[in-house]
Every structure is written in C-alpha cells, then in structure tokens.
Amino acid sequence: MKRICWTLPLAASLFVLPACKGGASADAVKLVPDEAEFLVGMHPKDIMESEVYKTFKGDIEGESDYKDAVKVVEDCGMAVTDFEAVIVGATAKEDGVFVVAAKGIGTDEKATCIIKGVQKAAGDEEGAEVTKAEGKKIIQFTDGRAYLVNDDMLAVATTSWEDKIGKLIDGEGTPAVDNSKKDLYGQVDAKSALWFIANVPDEVKGMAAMFGAPELGDVTTAAGNLDLSKGVAINFVAGLGEEAKATAVSEKVNGMLEEVKKDEQAKDFADMMNSVKVEADGANVKFAASASMDDINKMKEMAP
C-alpha cells in the first residue's frame, strides 16, 4: 500500500505540475503531526481550471501514471475536480500522511473503492475492510492505516504515524502548523493552488556548490506558494537564520539574475524577467516572480 501515498495526489494531477486557511484544507492541515519535516498543500480544482493547466493538459493527461490514477478515481464514481484539497506531510525517513478532502471520499463505499483501486493499480492484493479503532472508522493495511475522518475526508498514514493521526483527529496532540511549522505556515498563502513549507535537508544544501552558489548551502528552511489565477505567480521565502547570510545570498542571487538578463533569449521575456524580485528581509530571502500566459505559451512553443 505504500504507493497509495503518492497515487491519490497524482490522481489530483498535482505532482505533474511544475507545481485555504478556510474550509476543508484548514481542517486537513491540522492532521499533520508536529514531527513533519515538510508539508505540501494543493487545490486540485483550482489547478485543473487554470489556464496553465489547460495549456499543458495534453502533455499531463497523456502520462500513463496519470491515466491510471484518474481511472481509479472515475471507477469510483468521482472526478478529479471533486478533490477540494490534498495535504501531504512527511519526513525524510518516509513517515507520512496525506489527507484528501472530497465530497463522499470518507464514506465506506468510496473509501474502500478508492483504496482497492489503488491496490489494483499498484499490483497489490486487493483488500479494504472498514473496521473501528478507538471509536474511529479505519481501514488497516500491513504498512499503515486509512482513517475515514468524516464523509468528506480521508487520511492515510504510514504505520509510524497512524497513532499520531488518530490523536489529532480526536483533537489531541499538536499539529505541525500550530508549533514546529507555525512560522513557516504563516509565510505562505494557503489559499493558493499549491503551497509548501519545509526544513531543507543537508543533502540539498550540499548541492548548492554544484550550482556555483555555495551561499545557498546556508538555507535551512523554505516556504512558497504558486498562484495560477493569472498565468503563474511564485512567492518563495528561504530562511538563513542570520541577517548577514540572508544579505549574502540576496546579493549572490541578484548578481546571477543580472547575468541571466543579458542573455538574448531573456530579452524575449522582458516583462517576466522584470517581475523577478529578490531581497533580504531580516534572516530571510524573499523571491517573487510572475509569468503571463503569453510568456508561458511562448516558452511552450520554444521548447524542443
């Protein structure tokens, strides 16, 4: 069942894209425990209704994994656009939970259908029986557990986190966004199509020198969101821990940006390049950029 943690989000078309503090997503994010090293939040309907998605729809929906995932959803009488929110929280050690908010997905019929469909697609033995544990509806696997949180929410956790998720459902324990990730969560617009917050792993830090920017190796946290309401708008915050380090990184990135702007091809995207803003803000570096649909279509035409 390990593939289930990635297949359902894939069904929502979310991991194939270059990527609300209200409603279902607000409830869902509270089911990620304090131990999470990163969180990703997505609004599938917003993504699929965006002009960017429509532009790349043929490429995205032609992928075999995408087709398999969508078939699972549709065979259960649902559509990908029914998915109001998907929240993923995990650690580098593969502890994890994903929470899906969609009308009817937490009912016995829909939950068992979806899980059996995922098992079948993964080549696993099919089996999904709804039972009860400490008053909560569950479907137990050998390597995790699904909680039927309510009629419209399903939470799937790895074995290491299944008890933690159960406590969070009961209002016990501490959600990551209320403690360890509270400050990072406050830096993103969780109403956007996609957002993420994370501690930066040492392995990623070590790659900075490979890109000629060893200063980036000092980044300890990252937070960002993607707005697809008008083309693409990106907001990103990198945490350095010290003002001096943030200033050094800002200067390095701005220097690299000026070099990029000199490229002849970059001149074809003057508006997009001019939208890029990089600045130090205390111990953080803030990055913002946007691209219009004209720019995006132009880039698509230029792609090999």
CA–CA gap between residue 247 and residue 211 (Å, rounded)? 19
Instruction: Tell me which residue of 227, 263, 247 sits closest to 20, measured CA to CA.
Output: 227
Beta bridge partners of residue 147, listed in sequence order: 138, 155
CA–CA gap between residue 14 and residue 81 (Å, rounded)? 12
DSSP 210-259: GGT-GGGGG--EEEEEEE-SSSEEEEEEEE-SSHHHHHHHHHHHHHHHHH
Chain center to CA of 35: 17
Percent of the chain with pLDDT over 90: 71
pLDDT of residue 125: 85
For residue 137, which amino acid is it?
K
Instruction: Tell me which residue of 234, 239, 248, 221 sits closest to 284, measured CA to CA.
Output: 239
Sheet containing 136-141: give its strands across.
130-133, 136-141, 144-150, 153-158, 96-102, 83-90, 38-42, 194-199, 221-227, 232-239, 284-291, 277-281
pLDDT of residue 25: 57
pLDDT of residue 11: 38
pLDDT of residue 24: 57
Neighbours of 237 (CB within 10 A): 19
68: helix, strand or coil: helix
Neighbours of 57 (CB within 10 A): 12
pLDDT of residue 9: 42
pLDDT of residue 19: 32
Q: Kindly provide the residue ranges of all beta strands, DSSP E only, lying in 111-152, ordered along the sequence.
A: 130-133, 136-141, 144-150
The list of the chain residues with pLDDT below 50 reads 2-23
pTM over 0.85, yes/no: yes
284: helix, strand or coil: strand
CA–CA gap between residue 303 and residue 293 (Å, rounded)? 15
